[in-house]
Protein backbone atom coordinates (compact mmCIF):
# COMPACT_ATOMS: atom_id res chain seq x y z
CA UNK A 1 0.00 0.00 0.00
CA UNK A 2 2.84 2.35 0.88
CA UNK A 3 4.46 1.71 -2.51
CA UNK A 4 1.19 2.51 -4.29
CA UNK A 5 0.80 5.79 -2.39
CA UNK A 6 4.41 6.71 -3.10
CA UNK A 7 3.97 6.00 -6.82
CA UNK A 8 0.76 8.06 -6.91
CA UNK A 9 2.45 10.91 -5.04
CA UNK A 10 5.38 10.93 -7.48
CA UNK A 11 2.98 10.92 -10.42
CA UNK A 12 0.96 13.78 -8.93
CA UNK A 13 4.09 15.94 -8.76
CA UNK A 14 3.81 16.50 -12.51
CA UNK A 15 0.11 15.94 -13.28
CA UNK A 16 -2.83 18.16 -12.23
CA UNK A 17 -4.71 15.53 -10.22
CA UNK A 18 -6.83 16.17 -7.10
CA UNK A 19 -4.15 14.36 -5.09
CA UNK A 20 -1.63 16.79 -6.55
CA UNK A 21 -3.81 19.76 -5.57
CA UNK A 22 -3.67 18.55 -1.95
CA UNK A 23 0.00 17.67 -1.69
CA UNK A 24 1.91 19.36 -4.52
CA UNK A 25 3.28 22.79 -3.49
CA UNK A 26 4.12 23.44 -7.16
CA UNK A 27 0.67 22.55 -8.48
CA UNK A 28 0.12 25.78 -10.44
CA UNK A 29 3.34 25.64 -12.46
CA UNK A 30 3.11 21.88 -13.03
CA UNK A 31 -0.55 22.18 -14.07
CA UNK A 32 0.36 24.80 -16.66
CA UNK A 33 3.20 22.71 -18.03
CA UNK A 34 1.16 19.50 -18.22
CA UNK A 35 -1.79 21.12 -19.99
CA UNK A 36 0.34 22.91 -22.58
CA UNK A 37 2.54 19.88 -23.30
CA UNK A 38 -0.61 17.77 -23.69
CA UNK A 39 -2.10 20.36 -26.04
CA UNK A 40 0.97 20.34 -28.31
CA UNK A 41 1.94 16.67 -28.00
CA UNK A 42 0.12 15.81 -31.22
CA UNK A 43 2.92 17.44 -33.23
CA UNK A 44 5.30 14.71 -32.04
CA UNK A 45 5.45 11.54 -34.15
CA UNK A 46 7.62 8.61 -35.22
CA UNK A 47 10.88 8.07 -33.37
CA UNK A 48 11.12 10.67 -30.58
CA UNK A 49 14.03 11.80 -28.42
CA UNK A 50 13.32 13.09 -24.91
CA UNK A 51 16.33 15.34 -24.33
CA UNK A 52 17.03 15.75 -20.60
CA UNK A 53 14.43 13.07 -19.91
CA UNK A 54 14.95 12.44 -16.19
CA UNK A 55 12.09 10.21 -15.03
CA UNK A 56 10.09 10.83 -18.27
CA UNK A 57 7.12 12.35 -16.38
CA UNK A 58 5.24 13.24 -19.58
CA UNK A 59 5.79 9.95 -21.41
CA UNK A 60 2.10 9.01 -21.48
CA UNK A 61 1.18 12.20 -23.37
CA UNK A 62 2.98 11.12 -26.54
CA UNK A 63 1.67 8.62 -29.06
CA UNK A 64 4.93 7.89 -30.88
CA UNK A 65 6.50 4.78 -32.40
CA UNK A 66 9.66 4.87 -30.28
CA UNK A 67 10.51 6.92 -27.18
CA UNK A 68 14.20 7.33 -26.32
CA UNK A 69 15.41 9.34 -23.32
CA UNK A 70 18.84 10.90 -22.96
CA UNK A 71 20.36 12.91 -20.12
CA UNK A 72 23.69 14.13 -18.84
CA UNK A 73 25.29 11.98 -16.14
CA UNK A 74 26.56 14.79 -13.89
CA UNK A 75 23.80 17.23 -12.93
CA UNK A 76 22.29 18.99 -9.94
CA UNK A 77 20.20 15.97 -8.90
CA UNK A 78 20.48 12.23 -8.38
CA UNK A 79 19.51 9.98 -11.32
CA UNK A 80 18.77 6.98 -9.06
CA UNK A 81 14.99 6.91 -9.68
CA UNK A 82 15.05 8.12 -13.28
CA UNK A 83 14.49 6.37 -16.59
CA UNK A 84 17.43 7.26 -18.84
CA UNK A 85 18.16 5.14 -21.90
CA UNK A 86 21.37 6.86 -23.09
CA UNK A 87 23.72 9.30 -21.38
CA UNK A 88 25.43 12.06 -23.36
CA UNK A 89 28.63 13.93 -22.52
CA UNK A 90 27.24 17.48 -22.41
CA UNK A 91 28.66 18.35 -25.84
CA UNK A 92 27.73 15.71 -28.40
CA UNK A 93 24.64 13.55 -28.75
CA UNK A 94 25.51 9.88 -29.43
CA UNK A 95 23.15 9.58 -32.39
CA UNK A 96 23.57 9.72 -36.16
CA UNK A 97 22.39 12.63 -38.29
CA UNK A 98 18.60 12.80 -38.83
CA UNK A 99 17.94 10.00 -36.31
CA UNK A 100 14.66 11.34 -34.93
CA UNK A 101 11.30 12.47 -36.30
CA UNK A 102 10.64 14.50 -33.15
CA UNK A 103 12.44 15.89 -30.11
CA UNK A 104 10.94 16.84 -26.75
CA UNK A 105 12.80 18.77 -24.05
CA UNK A 106 11.17 20.09 -20.87
CA UNK A 107 12.85 22.40 -18.35
CA UNK A 108 16.35 21.61 -19.61
CA UNK A 109 17.71 24.57 -21.60
CA UNK A 110 18.21 26.71 -18.47
CA UNK A 111 20.72 24.11 -17.24
CA UNK A 112 22.85 24.16 -20.40
CA UNK A 113 25.70 26.67 -20.38
CA UNK A 114 26.68 25.85 -23.99
CA UNK A 115 23.14 26.02 -25.39
CA UNK A 116 24.11 27.17 -28.93
CA UNK A 117 26.34 24.09 -29.31
CA UNK A 118 23.62 21.76 -28.01
CA UNK A 119 21.02 23.33 -30.32
CA UNK A 120 23.34 22.52 -33.22
CA UNK A 121 23.37 18.91 -32.02
CA UNK A 122 19.58 18.77 -31.68
CA UNK A 123 19.25 20.24 -35.17
CA UNK A 124 21.68 17.65 -36.50
CA UNK A 125 19.86 14.60 -35.12
CA UNK A 126 16.40 15.89 -36.09
CA UNK A 127 15.06 14.89 -39.50
CA UNK A 128 14.11 17.61 -42.02
CA UNK A 129 10.50 18.55 -41.33
CA UNK A 130 10.77 17.19 -37.78
CA UNK A 131 9.41 19.05 -34.75
CA UNK A 132 11.04 20.11 -31.49
CA UNK A 133 8.71 20.71 -28.52
CA UNK A 134 10.47 22.60 -25.75
CA UNK A 135 9.51 24.13 -22.40
CA UNK A 136 11.78 26.68 -20.75
CA UNK A 137 11.20 28.73 -17.57
CA UNK A 138 10.95 32.52 -17.43
CA UNK A 139 10.04 32.95 -13.74
CA UNK A 140 11.45 30.42 -11.27
CA UNK A 141 14.05 30.40 -8.54
CA UNK A 142 17.55 28.99 -8.90
CA UNK A 143 17.49 25.20 -8.76
CA UNK A 144 19.71 22.17 -9.34
CA UNK A 145 22.51 24.44 -8.12
CA UNK A 146 25.12 25.07 -9.44
CA UNK A 147 23.83 23.87 -12.83
CA UNK A 148 21.33 26.68 -13.40
CA UNK A 149 22.49 29.23 -15.96
CA UNK A 150 19.65 31.16 -17.62
CA UNK A 151 16.04 32.34 -17.87
CA UNK A 152 14.39 33.18 -21.20
CA UNK A 153 11.76 35.67 -22.28
CA UNK A 154 9.50 34.54 -25.10
CA UNK A 155 11.33 36.91 -27.45
CA UNK A 156 14.77 35.72 -26.41
CA UNK A 157 13.94 32.05 -26.81
CA UNK A 158 12.29 32.65 -30.19
CA UNK A 159 15.37 34.53 -31.38
CA UNK A 160 17.77 31.78 -30.24
CA UNK A 161 15.77 29.04 -31.95
CA UNK A 162 15.30 30.98 -35.19
CA UNK A 163 19.00 31.86 -35.22
CA UNK A 164 19.69 28.12 -35.44
CA UNK A 165 17.47 27.80 -38.49
CA UNK A 166 14.37 26.45 -36.76
CA UNK A 167 10.92 27.66 -37.81
CA UNK A 168 8.43 28.73 -35.12
CA UNK A 169 5.18 26.74 -35.28
CA UNK A 170 3.56 27.51 -31.92
CA UNK A 171 4.39 29.64 -28.87
CA UNK A 172 2.48 29.60 -25.57
CA UNK A 173 2.89 30.71 -21.96
CA UNK A 174 1.80 28.47 -19.10
CA UNK A 175 0.52 30.83 -16.37
CA UNK A 176 -0.77 34.38 -16.14
CA UNK A 177 0.56 37.17 -13.90
CA UNK A 178 -1.63 36.46 -10.87
CA UNK A 179 -1.23 32.68 -10.90
CA UNK A 180 2.55 33.11 -11.14
CA UNK A 181 2.59 35.36 -8.06
CA UNK A 182 0.60 32.85 -6.01
CA UNK A 183 2.82 29.97 -7.12
CA UNK A 184 5.99 31.83 -6.15
CA UNK A 185 4.52 32.52 -2.70
CA UNK A 186 3.77 28.81 -2.25
CA UNK A 187 7.28 27.91 -3.39
CA UNK A 188 8.75 30.34 -0.86
CA UNK A 189 6.67 28.95 2.00
CA UNK A 190 7.44 25.34 1.12
CA UNK A 191 11.17 25.84 0.58
CA UNK A 192 12.04 28.49 3.18
CA UNK A 193 9.41 28.49 5.94
CA UNK A 194 8.46 24.83 6.31
CA UNK A 195 10.93 22.64 8.25
CA UNK A 196 13.39 20.56 6.27
CA UNK A 197 11.82 17.18 7.08
CA UNK A 198 10.05 15.90 3.95
CA UNK A 199 7.27 14.08 5.81
CA UNK A 200 6.41 17.20 7.81
CA UNK A 201 6.41 19.28 4.63
CA UNK A 202 3.99 16.90 2.96
CA UNK A 203 1.72 16.97 6.03
CA UNK A 204 1.70 20.77 6.14
CA UNK A 205 1.05 21.25 2.41
CA UNK A 206 -2.74 20.57 2.38
CA UNK A 207 -3.17 22.87 5.40
CA UNK A 208 -1.11 25.91 4.43
CA UNK A 209 -0.42 25.65 0.68
CA UNK A 210 -3.46 24.00 -0.93
CA UNK A 211 -5.87 26.81 0.15
CA UNK A 212 -3.50 29.40 -1.35
CA UNK A 213 -3.32 27.39 -4.57
CA UNK A 214 -7.13 27.29 -4.87
CA UNK A 215 -7.39 31.01 -4.06
CA UNK A 216 -4.71 31.84 -6.61
CA UNK A 217 -6.41 29.86 -9.37
CA UNK A 218 -9.75 31.52 -8.57
CA UNK A 219 -8.39 35.08 -8.48
CA UNK A 220 -6.37 34.53 -11.66
CA UNK A 221 -9.61 33.37 -13.31
CA UNK A 222 -11.73 36.40 -12.32
CA UNK A 223 -9.11 39.13 -12.85
CA UNK A 224 -8.06 40.35 -16.32
CA UNK A 225 -5.44 38.00 -17.75
CA UNK A 226 -1.94 39.32 -18.32
CA UNK A 227 0.86 37.12 -19.64
CA UNK A 228 3.88 39.43 -19.36
CA UNK A 229 4.84 37.73 -16.08
CA UNK A 230 4.62 33.96 -16.46
CA UNK A 231 6.29 30.71 -15.51
CA UNK A 232 7.16 28.86 -18.72
CA UNK A 233 7.54 29.21 -22.44
CA UNK A 234 6.17 26.23 -24.37
CA UNK A 235 7.19 26.25 -28.03
CA UNK A 236 7.07 24.00 -31.04
CA UNK A 237 9.63 24.66 -33.77
CA UNK A 238 10.42 22.76 -36.95
CA UNK A 239 13.51 21.93 -38.91
CA UNK A 240 12.85 23.24 -42.44
CA UNK A 241 11.93 20.88 -45.22
CA UNK A 242 11.23 21.87 -48.82
CA UNK A 243 7.57 22.14 -49.69
CA UNK A 244 6.26 22.04 -46.11
CA UNK A 245 4.37 25.24 -45.14
CA UNK A 246 4.60 26.70 -41.65
CA UNK A 247 1.34 27.60 -39.88
CA UNK A 248 2.42 29.83 -37.02
CA UNK A 249 0.25 29.90 -33.90
CA UNK A 250 0.72 33.36 -32.42
CA UNK A 251 -1.24 32.59 -29.25
CA UNK A 252 0.74 33.39 -26.11
CA UNK A 253 -2.13 32.77 -23.72
CA UNK A 254 -2.90 29.45 -22.10
CA UNK A 255 -4.62 28.43 -18.91
pLDDT at 78: 59
Q: What is the mean pLDDT of the chain?
A: 91
- What global pTM score does this model have? 0.90
What is the DSSP code string of 30-61?
Answer: HHHHHHHHHHHGGG--SEEEEET-TT-TTGGG
Residue 120 lies in a domain: yes
| Domain enclosing residue 74, as ranges | 32-176+227-238
Q: What is the CATH number of the domain that holds 162?
A: 3.40.50.150
pLDDT digits over 100-146, tens only?
Answer: 999 999 999 999 999 999 999 999 999 999 999 999 999 999 999 99
Contact partners, residue 37, CB within 8 Å, separation at least 6: 58, 61, 106, 133, 135, 234
Contact partners, residue 27, CB within 8 Å, separation at least 6: 16, 20, 21, 183, 186, 210, 213
Residue 162 lies in a domain: yes
Number of domains within the chain: 1
Contact partners, residue 148, CB within 8 Å, separation at least 6: 76, 110, 111, 142
pLDDT higher than threshold 70 for residue 243: no
Residue 153 lies in a domain: yes
Query: What percentage of the chain reaches a pLDDT higher than 70?
Result: 91
Residue 251 lies in a domain: no
Residue 219 lies in a domain: no
Residue 205 lies in a domain: no
pLDDT higher than threshold 90 for residue 166: yes
Amino acid sequence: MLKILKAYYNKSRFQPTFFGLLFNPFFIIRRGLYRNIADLSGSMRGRMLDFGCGSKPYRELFQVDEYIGTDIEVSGHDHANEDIDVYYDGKHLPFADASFDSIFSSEVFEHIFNLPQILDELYRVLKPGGHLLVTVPFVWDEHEIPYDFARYTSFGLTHILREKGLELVSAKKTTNYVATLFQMWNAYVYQHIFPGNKIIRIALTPIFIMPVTVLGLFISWILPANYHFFHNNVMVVRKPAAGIPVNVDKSHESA
